[in-house]
Chain A
């Protein structure tokens, strides 16, 4: 069985600052993917970033990057230059036969 843990229910960041959202996971697979999804107030799920476990290089998508620590089973998301539009719920997810989500974290951005 796989588990995904997000222990921080809420976080707040000042606009233009950097924030890191934490996630840990557990899996018995040797090769796997990890995702961060964003759910804004519209509730449409949006893929933010994807990490393939066999790749040592951390994934980066514009202002979003991950810190993937495979041995520690940690997969945190860093948002740089935070914008008001980044305010949303963020879910860490690990897919195998089905997608397993963490509990999510609500990120607010202060103007």
Chain B
């Protein structure tokens, strides 16, 4: 149980275009989802916390107009990178928490590799 999927797993886009990444909880309802960014050999950097039905909470230094997060249902959150540039190339990971368990464990998606050319 507690499976999180991400789509696509790898995307290449041209500079200036936008790309959407989907994060789905497959067998549970996720009131809260998290989006991370990770560079090679580095730790995960939290970008934003996404709550179903409300606006996402962005971490300091993350451009909310560039990284649009929508959490329209209890099983789906999306991250849209708008007007992507090569410096946005990175590995993006989402996770979800089951609040009812009250154990703070997060279940991670397999990640999405974004390459902007």
Residues of A at the B interface (CB closer than 8 Å) are 33, 35, 42-47, 50, 89, 91, 95-99, 101-104, 106
20 pairs, A vs B, C-beta closer than 8 Å: A33-B104, A35-B105, A43-B38, A43-B110, A44-B108, A44-B111, A45-B44, A47-B105, A91-B44, A95-B104, A95-B105, A96-B104, A98-B46, A98-B49, A99-B34, A101-B43, A103-B42, A104-B42, A104-B43, A106-B41
Q: Is the CB of A95 within 8 A of B41?
A: no
Interface size on B, residues (CB 8 A): 18
* Set of chain A residues within 8 Å of B106, measured between Cβ atoms: 95, 99
* CB nearest neighbor in A for B2: A47
* CB nearest neighbor in B for A52: B103
A43-B111 contact given A50-B103, A99-B106, CB 8 Å threshold: yes
- B8: min CB distance to chain A, Å: 14
A45-B43 contact given A33-B103, A98-B49, CB 8 Å threshold: no
Q: Is the CB of B46 within 8 A of A99?
A: yes
Q: Is the CB of B91 within 8 A of A43?
A: yes
B37-53 CB contact bits vs A (8 Å, 1 = yes)?
A: 01001111010010000
* Set of chain B residues within 8 Å of A96, measured between Cβ atoms: 104
Q: Is the CB of B44 within 8 A of A98?
A: no
B95 within 8 A of A: yes
Q: Is the CB of A44 within 8 A of B110?
A: yes
In the assembly, what is the distance between CA of A47 and CA of B98, in Å?
Answer: 15
B60-102 CB contact bits vs A (8 Å, 1 = yes)?
A: 0000000000000000000000000000000101010000000
* CB nearest neighbor in B for A4: B43
